[in-house]
Structure 1
Amino acid sequence: MIIIYIYSHLEDYIVELYKRIGISRPNQLRLEVIAKRLDITVYSFGWPSEALYSNGRQYIYLNRYLTPEQKWQEFAHELCHALRHSGYQKRMYPLFRELQEWQADNFALHFCIPTFMLQRIKLPTDKKDAACLIAKTFHVEYEFAFKRLELYKNKIYAGRYAKWHV
């Protein structure tokens, strides 16, 4: 059986973004390095995380009380707002704000655990063991890794039953 994985537009975007900033391996996924290469200033402070655009510059504010894994995940979430969204969320129609939050959550899953890197890893057959390996490799929380693994596996599973011509 041939399994074909077709990248989504988001996965293509993330591949190109990482390629542009010279990142190709999980050990290069460092918040400070990525922020610097994207020319985004990151600050730690005591309130909920947020992204802000001011005077032609992007800023991401991360809650200083988060664990390193949570900060990485929050950075990716806020990065989506910085790179792909516009407008002030507190003045948006609630459903549009909800859409942007869903998009940022989905972006974070794919940004922190990029498909092109995930495909290079030999994953254990047990889902819990695989999620543990992903969490350790990509420096994310277990639940986050498990959710990303589910997205990845579901897409492969769906591809098995599609009619493909190679």
Structure 2
Amino acid sequence: MLAHYQPTVLEDWVEAKYQSVGILTPADLTIDNIANAFHIKVILLPGAKEEALWDDSLAAIFLNADKPVLETREIFFHELCHPLLHHGDQLGMSSHQRLHQEEQAGHFQLYAALPFFMIRSLTLPQLEQDIIHLLATEFAVTHELARKRWEQIHRRNYSGEAHYQLVAEMRSRYKKSLPQDWSDETKALYERAIQRQQKHYRGMVIR
């Protein structure tokens, strides 16, 4: 079902980071387990401002104890991005830099809360609503976040499939001769056609 899905560089990084500390299944994705694995102190307080504080030697994530458990988990995965991936104090950054980090943390949240390498190991049902319910249950996230992640995966898989079909079609047009035997003009034409079609699908792929 997901044979043509293409992970991003950030997604591959998250997967490698998890695997390096033995986080391999949805059951491993608890706040305590992840915090211990990456030496991050989690502070759960009523009314706390939700944020991550970190430097080269210490990292802490503050969570609001008044919020529902699933929402708290999702905020944790968002804040987790900062001590693992970012350097420097956000207070000293420009608004553009802070916006970039927060946007990156939004993508990181999806990858960290619902890792594709774990999703790939599941037996997914046929109906989209059943898939979303399964993801929400398996990964202990809200249906809203599960839907967002599944829609992202579905779009990227569709884009990958479209690209695969495009390459197969273009190759079939030149199947009378091997690529190494093509003239420079034919090779250039082939490359331009591929690039032109890739631009059409590029808008469907997000980070």
Normalising to structure 2: TM-score of the pair? 0.74
Unaligned runs of 5+ in 2: 169-207
Secondary structure of 1:69's aligned partner: helix
CA distance in 1, matches of 2:2, 2:155: 16
Secondary structure of 1:162's match?
helix
Higher helix share: 2
Once the 2 structures are TM-superposed, how far is the Cα of residue 125 of structure 1 from its aligned partner?
2.6
Q: CA deviation at 1:100?
A: 1.0
Deviating 4+ runs (over 4 angstroms)? none
For 1:159 and 1:19, locate their aligned partners in 2 and report how far apart those are by CA, in whole Å.
25
Farther-moved stretch of structure 1 (74-83 vs 45-54): 45-54
Partner of 2:39: 39
**Aligned position for 1:53:** 54
Instruction: Measure how far apart 1:158 and its partner are.
Output: 0.4
Moved more, 59-68 or 106-115: 59-68
Decide which moves more: 17-26 or 46-55. 46-55
Distance apart, 1:32 and its partner CA = 0.2
Tell whether the 8 Å contact from 2:55 to 2:87 is kept in structure 1 after alignment.
no
**Matching residue of 2:150:** 149
Pairwise CA distance, 1:7: 2.3
Matched, 1:62 2:52: no
| Alpha-carbon distance in 2 for matches of 1:39, 1:77 | 17
How many Å separate the matches in 2 of 1:88 and 1:59? 13
Shift of 1:119: 1.0
- Aligned-partner Cα distance in 2 for 1:80–1:39: 14
**C-alpha spacing 1:86/1:54, structure 2 compared with 1 (3 Å):** closer
- The answer for the alignment partner of 2:139 in structure 1 is 138
- Matched residues in 2 for 1:84 and 1:27: separation? 23
What letter corresponds to residue 93 of structure 2 in structure 1? M
**One-letter amino acid matched to 2:125:** P
In structure 1, give the amino acid aligned to 2:6.
I
In 2 relative to 1, CA 75–2 (structure 1 residues): closer, same or farther, beyond 3 Å? closer
How many pairs does the alignment contain?
A: 165
Confirm or deny: 8 A CA contact 2:2 2:157 kept in the other structure.
no
Query: Could you tell me the TM-score, scaled by structure 1's length?
Result: 0.91
Secondary structure, counterpart of 1:3 in structure 2: coil
Distance in 2, matches of 1:28 and 1:82, equals 19
- AA matched with 1:94: S
Shift of 1:11: 1.7
SS in structure 1 at match of 2:52? strand
Secondary structure at the aligned position of 2:101 is classed as helix
Partner letter of residue 158 of structure 1? S
CA distance in 2, matches of 1:85, 1:2: 31
Q: Unaligned stretches of 5+ in structure 1?
A: none
Moved more, 105-114 or 84-93: 84-93
Residue number in structure 2 paired with 1:5 = 5
State how far apart, in whole Å, the 1-side matches of 2:2 and 2:124 are.
Answer: 18
